[in-house]
Structure 1
Amino acid sequence: MTKRIFIDGASGTTAFSLKQALEPFIENNEIDLIEISDTRDVKLRQKASREADLVILCLPDDVTKQTIPFLRKYDVQTIDASSAHRDMPIKDKNFWAYGFPELNEDQPRKIANARFVSNPGCFATGAISILTPLIKDGILSKDAPNIVNGVAGYTTGGKKMVGNFEKPNNDDYLLSRAFSQYNLTKPHRHIEEIKNYSGLNTNPVFTPTILPIARGMIVSIPFNKASIPEEMRDQVTLETIQRTFEKYYNSPDSKVEILPLDPQRRSVNFGAFKMINEIKNAPPLDTVKIAVTGWDDGNEPQFIVYAMLDNLGKGAATQAVQNMKLMLKL
C-alpha cells in the first residue's frame, strides 16, 4: 500500500534535497507526496498532516515548536529536520528517538517505534559517527576536552547563507569568505547535541568553518595520548582505531563506510564532493565516509579521524529517508 508523505516547509534547501531523495520511492509507488497550494496556510498544512502517514518538518525552529503540539494531538508520525527538538529523545524517550540509525545496535528499533524522530544536525552526524565508537571502546576519555573541527559548503547555513553566496557579481564577497569561521562568540547549536549522543561528559570544543563552495562537509577530531585513558595509552595504534570503526559499523544496513587504513594518506580534501558541486542539483549522497590517519611510532603519537559527508545528504535529506523507511517499514 502506498504511503502518503507530507513535507511541511517544502521551500528550503533540505526540502529540495529530500524531494530528490524520495524520487525512487515515488517511482516505485511506495510513497506519494501530499502537495498544498499555499505552504503558509496553517489550515491547509494541518489538513495535509492529518491525511499523511508521515510528516517531515523542514521548518524554522520557532515554527516547528508551534507545529509539534498539533501533530502530537492527532498522533501523526513525524520526522523533525529542524534543530528545535534534538534534546527531546533524552527528555521524552516514550515518544521521541534520535534519528541516527547507526548510533547503536538498538537505534533502528527505537526509530521504527517512535512517534517523533529528531533528524540529526549535519556537523553532529559527522562528529558523533567518530566519537561514539572511540568512547565506547575506551580509546577516548569521556572527560577529555575533545576538539571537533568542521569544514562545510555554504548550503550548511540554509537559504539566507545560500542567497549571500550565490548573488550575481559576487566575487568580492566570495574572496572575503574564502575561509570563514563563525559562531565565535556563542555556543553552536550542535555542541550540546554532540555531547548528548556521543557519550561525552563535557562539551567538545567545536570550530565550524564555511567555504565558498555549495556542498560537502569534513568533520575531523584530532587527539593524542592526553585524550586517551591512561590504562589504554600503550594499546592504542592506528590499527586498533581502524578495527574499532570496522567493528562498530559492520551492519549491512549501515550508511557509515570505513575507508581502508592507508599509512601514506597525507591529505584529506573536498575531492570526494567534486561531482555534487559540478552538477547542478546533483542527487544527495547517503553515506558518511570515515578515514583514520596520523602516526603511532615514537613517544608522541597523533591521531586524526575524519568523517566526510554531503551536508544535504546524510547530513539532512537521506538521513531523513533512512528514518522514514524504518518508521513506515519500507
Structure 2
Amino acid sequence: MVAKVFIDGEAGTTGLQIRERLGRRRDIELLTVPSELRKDLGARAERLNAADVAILCLPDDAARESVSLIENATTRVIDASSAHRTAPDWDYGFPEMTPEQADRIAASRRVSNPGCYPQGVIACVRPLIEAGLLPADFPVTVNAISGYSGGGRQLIETYEADGAQNPAFLPYALGFRHKHLPEMTRYSGVSSTPIFVPAVGNYAQGMVTMVPLRLEGLERAASGEEIHACLTERYASMKGSFVDVAPFVHADRVPELDPETFNGTNRMRLHVFASQDRAQAVLVAVYDNLGKGASGAAVQNLNLMLGVDAAESLAA
C-alpha cells in the first residue's frame, strides 16, 4: 500500500530535507501544493485531509492552524514545530526516549517531533534518573552548540552572506527563556528547569550538547563506569535505536566531539567522561541538528507510523 504524505511547509529547511529523504520512496506518494498556493488555506486543507500522514514544517501558529484544518479522523500528523511538544494528547517523537516510546509513536495519530537540543539532554539524563543514579531534583546544567542552520531561514541567510565575519561562537538565549526548555524539563525527568546555555557556531550544521555533573553532594556518587554502563545497556538493548554510546575513556581531548561528526545521518553518539576522585562527570551527545535533530527524526517517526523499517531513507 502506498501512503499519501503531505509536507506542509516543504519550502523550509526541514521540509526540504524531509522531501529529499522521501523523494525516491516507492511506498510513499508525496502530495504537493503549487508554490503560488502555499498560503492558500483551501489548497492546504485539501491536501491535509487527503493525506495519510501530514508533516508540519511550519511556525507554531501556522502548525496549530494546519491541525485545525483537518476534519477527518484518519489523517495522522507529525508536527516539527514546538506548538505541541508538551501537549498531553500528543506523543513525543523521540523513539529512544524509553523502551516503549517507539511503539507509542507507531500507534499514535498525533506526534510532536522533538526540538534538536532536548534530544541529547534527554538521552543522557533520563536513563540515569530512571536507574536511580541521579535524583530527579538534581540541578542540571546544559551547554550546547549548533550550526547556524538551526536558527531558521533568516539566520542562515545572515551567516551565509557574512561568511568569515560571523562570530565563531555566539551564546544566546541568555534571558533563560529558550523555547526548548519546557520539553527538555518534562521529558528528561528532572523536577526543575535546567540552566541552558546554547550557542551558534560559524558552520552550517551539526551539534554537541554537554551536561556537566557535580556528584559530590549526593548520598552516593555514581562512578563514571556505572554511568557509562547504564547508558550503554539502555541503548544497546533498544531495537532500532539510532543512539549509541562511545567507549568509556579517560582523555583530555576526543576528536569525535566535533559537532559535524554525524552530519547527514540520523546517528546520535553519547560520551561519558568522569573523575572519580573529584566526583565529577560530563555527558556529551553528538548529532546532526538537521538529521536526528529535525528531518531525520521526522522520517524515523514516519517510518514507525507506517510500519516500515525505522531506518528506511536514513543514513546511520
Q: 1:290 Cα deviation (Å)?
A: 0.4
Looking at structure 2, the residues matched to 224 and 133 of structure 1 have their Cα atoms a distance apart, in angstroms, of 17
Change (3 A) 1:45 1:74: farther
Aligned residue for 2:260, secondary structure, equals helix
Q: 1:186 Cα deviation (Å)?
A: 4.0
Looking at structure 1, the residues matched to 86 and 214 of structure 2 have their Cα atoms a distance apart, in angstroms, of 30
The answer to whether the 8 Å contact 2:5/2:53 transfers is: yes
Partner of 1:14: 14
Q: 1:257 Cα deviation (Å)?
A: 1.2
Higher helix share: 1
Alignment root-mean-square deviation, CA: 1.7
The answer to whether the 8 Å contact 1:50/1:74 transfers is: no
Is the counterpart of residue 36 in structure 1 residue 33 in structure 2?
yes
Partner of 1:280: none
Partner of 1:294: 274
Change (3 A) 1:272 1:205: closer
Partner of 1:105: 99
Looking at structure 2, the residues matched to 243 and 320 of structure 1 have their Cα atoms a distance apart, in angstroms, of 29
Q: Look up the equivalent residue of 1:122 and give its one-letter code.
A: C
Is the counterpart of residue 119 in structure 1 residue 118 in structure 2?
no
Q: Look up the equivalent residue of 1:115 and give its one-letter code.
A: R
Q: Which among 251, 255, 260 is matched to residue 264 of structure 1?
A: 251
Partner of 1:273: 260
Change (3 A) 1:274 1:108: closer
Q: Which among 156, 161, 172 is matched to residue 162 of structure 1?
A: 156
Aligned residue for 2:118, secondary structure, equals helix
Range with greater deviation from structure 2 (133-142 or 3-12): 133-142
Change (3 A) 1:121 1:252: same
Partner of 2:188: 198
Is the counterpart of residue 216 in structure 1 residue 213 in structure 2?
no
Segments of structure 1 that go 5 or more residues without pairing to the other structure are 277-283
Change (3 A) 1:54 1:81: same
Change (3 A) 1:268 1:187: farther
| Residue-by-residue CA offset, 1:184-222 (whole Å, 9 max, x unaligned) | 124111111111011110000100010010000000001
Q: Look up the equivalent residue of 1:244 and give its one-letter code.
A: C
Looking at structure 2, the residues matched to 33 and 23 of structure 1 have their Cα atoms a distance apart, in angstroms, of 8
Change (3 A) 1:303 1:274: closer
Q: Look up the equivalent residue of 2:239 and give its one-letter code.
A: P
Looking at structure 1, the residues matched to 71 and 92 of structure 2 have their Cα atoms a distance apart, in angstroms, of 17
Looking at structure 2, the residues matched to 124 and 214 of structure 1 have their Cα atoms a distance apart, in angstroms, of 19
- Please give the TM-score of this superposition, normalised by the length of structure 1: 0.88
| Residue-by-residue CA offset, 1:286-321 (whole Å, 9 max, x unaligned) | 01110111222x2x2221010001000000111111
Partner of 2:46: 47
Residue-pair matches, total: 305
| Residue-by-residue CA offset, 1:244-275 (whole Å, 9 max, x unaligned) | 01111122310101111122352466546268
Partner of 1:252: 239
Partner of 1:142: 136
Q: 1:72 Cα deviation (Å)?
A: 5.8
Change (3 A) 1:198 1:186: closer
The answer to whether the 8 Å contact 2:172/2:198 transfers is: yes
Looking at structure 2, the residues matched to 294 and 129 of structure 1 have their Cα atoms a distance apart, in angstroms, of 18
Aligned residue for 1:261, secondary structure, equals coil
Range with greater deviation from structure 2 (135-144 or 79-88): 135-144
Partner of 2:312: none
Is the counterpart of residue 65 in structure 1 residue 83 in structure 2?
no
Partner of 1:285: 265
Partner of 2:311: none
The answer to whether the 8 Å contact 1:119/1:319 transfers is: yes
The answer to whether the 8 Å contact 1:216/1:270 transfers is: no
Identity across the alignment (%) = 34
Looking at structure 2, the residues matched to 205 and 272 of structure 1 have their Cα atoms a distance apart, in angstroms, of 21
Segments of structure 2 that go 5 or more residues without pairing to the other structure are 309-316
Range with greater deviation from structure 2 (55-64 or 247-256): 247-256
Looking at structure 2, the residues matched to 190 and 61 of structure 1 have their Cα atoms a distance apart, in angstroms, of 13
The answer to whether the 8 Å contact 1:152/1:209 transfers is: yes
The answer to whether the 8 Å contact 2:48/2:69 transfers is: no
- Please give the TM-score of this superposition, normalised by the length of structure 2: 0.91
